[in-house]
Amino acid sequence: MLKKIKCLSLFIVLCLPLSAAANDELTKQAPRSQLSNQYNQDYSLNTALTAPNHKMCKEACWAQSASDRQLKNKYGQTQIPKKFRFADRYYKQGERVYMQCMKPHGPMAVLNKSISGRCSAKANKVCEKACLRALK
């Protein structure tokens, strides 16, 4: 009986601090709210949440929808420049419009430049409007 008590007390002495430390590690990494995550992500990328002025909305929306080749030709890199990353939120709204526009034409519509161009123009307009609304 004495052996069991010693074993149990040894278990408590050794394992409880470990479980407390594990709990501390879990609480350090507690999930943040969605807004907090968005703020931290934008802060780490050094990007603004809205356009600095109305002139940047059009180019930022274009940059969001541009191909790698177009980005390389215009900015010398295949990534969207940091100053235009704020438009990602608005581009997602335009992307939905693009998908709705392309859907009735079938999967091969991507190859038809007139259809995809028209749908891209609609998507960019939605993106620009959302961007301009955020400035007001």
136 residues of the chain, pLDDT tens digit each:
555 555 445 445 444 444 444 444 444 444 444 443 343 344 444 455 666 778 889 999 999 999 999 999 999 999 999 999 889 989 999 999 999 999 999 988 889 999 999 999 999 999 999 999 988 7
Domain carrying residue 114: 37-135
Looking at the domain assignment, is residue 26 inside a domain?
Answer: no
Looking at the domain assignment, is residue 90 inside a domain?
Answer: yes
The number of domains in the chain is 1
Residues 6+ apart with CB under 8 A from 86: 42, 47, 48, 49, 50, 51, 60
Looking at the domain assignment, is residue 11 inside a domain?
Answer: no
Looking at the domain assignment, is residue 102 inside a domain?
Answer: yes
CA distance 92 to 94: 5
Looking at the domain assignment, is residue 53 inside a domain?
Answer: yes
Looking at the domain assignment, is residue 13 inside a domain?
Answer: no
Residues in the chain: 136
Looking at the domain assignment, is residue 86 inside a domain?
Answer: yes
CA distance 71 to 89: 19
Looking at the domain assignment, is residue 6 inside a domain?
Answer: no
**What is the model's pTM?**
0.60
